[in-house]
Amino acid sequence: MAEQPFLRATGLTKNFGNVAAVNNIEFDVSRGEVLTLLGPSGCGKTTTLRMIAGFEKPDGGEIEVEGTPVVSISKRILLAPEKREMGMVFQSYAIWPHLNVFENVAYPLRVRRIKGNVVQDKVESVLSLVGLDGLEDRPALLLSGGQQQRVALARALIYSPKILLLDEPLSNLDAKLREQMRVELKALQRRLSITVVFVTHDQVEAMTLSDRLAVMNHGQIEQLAAPHEVYTNPATSFVQEFLGRVIWMQGCVMQRESERMVVGLDGEAGVQIQCPATEFSPKSGESVVVAVRPEEVSVGKVKEGEGFNQVPCEVDTAVFLGDRYECHLRFGPMSFTLYTSVGEFFSSGQKVFVNLPENAVRVWRKNEAGQPVSH
């Protein structure tokens, strides 16, 4: 029998006035798993996390931990945050400036009236876990950004929460420290085997820290899957664009069979792209958007074979970056950027062919403005 999810949210909904901040979402998290809520600003990540923590009351839906509801709107259950056994780290860290490191970390235990010697032992062990041993007496105001982040993490971990909720905990750190803390956070999560719900708008953080990603947009989850699956097999054009770079081209369906289709690209007659058939069923003649990741394509100087999937382009500029070239290419009114290895030199004005591997091409519906639309 499959193990029941450790954390499960169903029909979770929150409106602020007429803004549907979170719109009927569903997800579950297994014990020891890291699930990341990823998406642009305002898509509902923080509101979702706050509903899990108990700081925000949903308008509808249910959240269960180990099969027991901590909130259920229909059953009128709403457990207070401190009864949910969850630790949360906020983007701002929210540590007390007038307390030293020890008292900041001890705070959740003091609130729970735990005895002094137990507090001492627990604080020492959790400070060592996050690499802050010896800093017990340091006033919080005299800590660096990275140290404050560790204090916030230690405080969230001190009462061994069932679930750790992290709201953009690395976003106030500079790039180098951020990278270091990302690695440390992953190592700590593995060591403790703790279940984590992580919120970020940073795709690198999401890809490196998560077992699965829930990509959110306008209060809804557009895709929930492992990072590799989300990147290589995006469910919507939004997901494809949000995770990584994309070359977009406009075209028109010429032929559609059950497995494959042919799209004629706008911009030059006779440039045809063969690709797997999409899940939606565009009619012959329907305008669509063709998308491919730049790292999937190759650039050649001559046309090969029958010429399918080869887009004749002109090199606008090719900039030497040391380890590779950054090539700005133009095809009709469309332009895009590619990276080529230092062995392949291309110069401005040169004609080249960009080869799109058949299985790397995705086709999306487009709206009246020519933008891809999720379906």
Least separation in angstroms between residue 165's CB and ligand ATP is: 12
Residue range at the interface with ligand ATP (CB under 6 A); choices 45-53, 62-70, 144-152, 253-261? 45-53
Q: Are 236 and 223 in contact (CB under 8 A)?
A: yes
Least separation in angstroms between residue 49's CB and ligand ATP is: 8
21 is a site residue for ligand ATP (CB under 6 A)? yes
Residue range at the interface with ligand ATP (CB under 6 A); choices 41-49, 113-121, 189-197, 363-371? 41-49
Q: By CB under 6 A, name the one of 27, 33, 45, 315 that touches ligand ATP.
A: 45
- Of 91 and 337, which CB lies nearer to ligand ATP in the complex structure? 91
Size of the site for ligand ATP (CB under 6 A): 12
Residues in the chain: 375
Q: By CB under 6 A, name the one of 18, 41, 68, 193 that touches ligand ATP.
A: 41
Tell me the DSSP string of 59-125.
Answer: SEEEEEETTEEEEETTTTEE--GGGS-EEEE-TT----TTSBHHHHHHHHHHHTT--HHHHHHHHHH
- Sites for ligand ATP among residues 183-242 (CB under 6 A): 201
Least separation in angstroms between residue 52's CB and ligand ATP is: 12
Least separation in angstroms between residue 176's CB and ligand ATP is: 23
Contacts of 74 (CB under 8 A, 6+ apart): 62
Residue range at the interface with ligand ATP (CB under 6 A); choices 36-44, 225-233, 337-345, 351-359? 36-44
Q: Are 250 and 297 in contact (CB under 8 A)?
A: no
- Of 14 and 84, which CB lies nearer to ligand ATP in the complex structure? 14
- Of 42 and 294, which CB lies nearer to ligand ATP in the complex structure? 42
What DSSP element (H or E) covers 4?
A: none
Cα–Cα distance measured from residue 180 to residue 170, given in angstroms and rounded to the nearest whole number: 10
46 is a site residue for ligand ATP (CB under 6 A)? yes
182 is a site residue for ligand ATP (CB under 6 A)? no
120 φψ region: left (φ > 0), alpha (ψ -120 to 50), beta (else): alpha
- Sites for ligand ATP among residues 1-20 (CB under 6 A): 16, 19
By CB atoms closer than 10 A (0-12, 13-18, 19+), residue 304 is exposed
Contacts of 126 (CB under 8 A, 6+ apart): 105, 154, 157, 158
Least separation in angstroms between residue 196's CB and ligand ATP is: 17
Q: What is the dihedral of CA 160, 161, 165, 168, to 10 degrees?
A: -20
Q: By CB under 6 A, name the one of 5, 44, 108, 234 that touches ligand ATP.
A: 44
Which stretches of the chain bind ligand ATP, using CB under 6 A?
16, 19, 21, 39, 41-47, 201
